């Protein structure tokens, strides 16, 4: 689907029909203008049409059709293609979902191809159209705006996952018995997914930030430096989350062992308390002819009292030793 097509010069949008052909024609005629064509999950035909108009490289176009690319920057003569993965957090499932944005950057055009939900580029476009000064930098400004918006998305997701990690921590160390292994594992999996989306971005965005990419002007570099900074920060944050989750799993294991030990001692204490009267009763259940106690008038009461005393003092002893307390 073709979402939006705009031609810009001196930071302002031309009032033109929104189709790629108009864009191509206009930038062909006006050397100061550049175009931005935005596609969302385009059909092969739509993409082929745009490819022909702007002379996009066939291999890059193939990649843009498949929504499971690795983040990367590929250069072709005087243009390059950047592939980014978008991340968003689905509250209902506590899951991190991924999409893809391919950005074809030429001297005077930008073509964006988006797959999946998350990071709607229309917002990025509107924000940019409101900032004529920035937009005046041309395709680099568009590239920056998109990267910035996607990387902001990473930070939102990282914060949501951090909240989940805090929850799982609280659960691990709560006095209640919990089985947190699955939750920790699932979170590790999400964090791994995030790292695979974010880590490969570090290098190309730092290249932009150092002005090492033709087409990115020297003035644009500080803006990309800001994005690079966010990428590094969110990348460090996911590493830290990963480390925390590993430690949390180990701590969970240690806690389960300690709880098991506590339970075992509590159970054993009760078994011992129950075994004592049973043993005493067994003794006075023996059938010896000559057992004087049996004939005592208050023998029975004395033995029951003995049982109660034994159990009570055992209970007190175990309590004191911490075998029955919440320890």
51-55: long-range contacts, CB 8 A cutoff, minimum separation 24: 53/20, 53/21, 53/23, 53/24, 54/20, 54/24, 54/104, 54/106, 54/109, 54/111, 55/106
Question: Is 271 near a copy of itself (CB under 8 A)?
Answer: yes
Instruction: Give least dist CB 308 to a copy of itself, A.
Output: 11
Instruction: Give least dist CB 118 to a copy of itself, A.
Output: 21
Quick one: 20 or 255, whose CB is closer to a copy of itself?
255
d(CA 224, CA 206): 8
Instruction: Give least dist CB 14 to a copy of itself, A.
Output: 28
Instruction: Give least dist CB 262 to a copy of itself, A.
Output: 8
Instruction: Give least dist CB 155 to a copy of itself, A.
Output: 10
Instruction: Give least dist CB 18 to a copy of itself, A.
Output: 31
Question: Is 115 near a copy of itself (CB under 8 A)?
Answer: no
Quick one: 217 or 247, whose CB is closer to a copy of itself?
247
- Please choose, out of 34-42, 92-100, 114-122, 266-274, the segment that lies near a copy of itself by the rule CB under 8 A: 266-274
Helices (H), the chain: 20-29, 44-54, 58-65, 121-129, 132-135, 139-173, 181-198, 202-209, 221-284, 292-295, 299-320
Site for a copy of itself in 61-80 (CB under 8 A): 62-63, 69-70, 72, 74, 76
Quick one: 7 or 244, whose CB is closer to a copy of itself?
244
Instruction: Give least dist CB 55 to a copy of itself, A.
Output: 14
Please provide residue 321's backbone torsions phi and psi, each rounded to the nearest 5 degrees.
-75, -5
| Binding letters toward a copy of itself, positions 224-263, x by CB under 8 A | -xx--x--xx--x---x--xx-xxxxxxxxxxxxxxxx-x
Size of the site for a copy of itself (CB under 8 A): 88
Site for a copy of itself in 198-227 (CB under 8 A): 222-223, 225-226
Question: Is 315 near a copy of itself (CB under 8 A)?
Answer: no
Q: Is 287 exposed, middle or buried (0-12, 13-18, 19+ CB in 10 A)?
A: exposed
Q: How far is CA 202 from CA 71, 147, 224, 280, in A?
A: 10, 12, 11, 76
Question: Is 31 near a copy of itself (CB under 8 A)?
Answer: no
- Please choose, out of 48-56, 91-99, 103-111, 303-311, the segment that lies near a copy of itself by the rule CB under 8 A: 303-311
Quick one: 48 or 181, whose CB is closer to a copy of itself?
181
Question: Is 85 near a copy of itself (CB under 8 A)?
Answer: no
55-59: long-range contacts, CB 8 A cutoff, minimum separation 24: 55/106, 56/81, 56/104, 56/111, 57/81
Q: Are strands 95-105 and 109-115 parallel, antiparallel or unpaired?
A: antiparallel
Q: How far is CA 210 from CA 44, 79, 215, 297, 318, in A?
A: 36, 18, 12, 102, 69
């Amino acid at each position: 689907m073709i979402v939006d097509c705009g031609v810009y010069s001196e930071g302002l949008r031309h009032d033109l029909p929104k189709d790629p052909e108009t864009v191509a024609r206009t930038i062909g005629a006006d050397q100061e203008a550049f175009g931005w064509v935005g596609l969302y999950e385009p059909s092969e035909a739509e993409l082929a049409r745009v490819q022909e108009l702007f002379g996009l490289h066939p291999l890059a176009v193939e990649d843009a059709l498949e929504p499971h690319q690795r983040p990367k920057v590929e250069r072709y003569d005087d243009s390059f293609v950047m592939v980014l993965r978008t991340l968003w957090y689905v509250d209902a499932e506590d899951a991190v979902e991924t999409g893809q944005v391919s950005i074809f950057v030429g001297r005077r055009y930008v073509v964006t191809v988006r797959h999946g939900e998350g990071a709607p580029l229309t917002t990025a476009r509107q924000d940019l159209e409101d900032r004529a000064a920035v937009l005046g930098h041309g395709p680099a400004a568009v590239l920056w705006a998109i990267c910035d918006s996607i990387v902001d998305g990473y930070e939102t997701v990282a914060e949501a996952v951090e909240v989940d990690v805090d929850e799982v921590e609280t659960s691990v160390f709560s006095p209640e018995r919990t089985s947190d292994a699955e939750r920790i594992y699932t979170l590790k999996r999400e964090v791994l997914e995030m790292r695979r989306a974010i880590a490969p971005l570090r290098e190309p965005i730092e290249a932009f930030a150092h002005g090492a990419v033709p087409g990115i002007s020297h003035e644009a570099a500080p803006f990309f430096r800001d994005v690079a900074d966010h990428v590094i920060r969110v990348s460090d944050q996911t590493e830290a989350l990963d480390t925390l989750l590993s430690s949390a799993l180990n701590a969970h294991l240690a806690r389960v062992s300690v709880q098991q030990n506590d339970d075992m001692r509590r159970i054993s204490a009760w078994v011992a308390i129950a075994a004592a009267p049973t043993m005493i009763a067994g003794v006075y259940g023996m059938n010896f002819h000559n057992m004087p106690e049996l004939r005592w008038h208050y023998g029975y009461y004395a033995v029951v009292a003995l049982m109660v005393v034994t159990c009570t003092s055992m209970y007190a002893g175990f309590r004191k030793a911490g075998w029955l307390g919440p320890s």
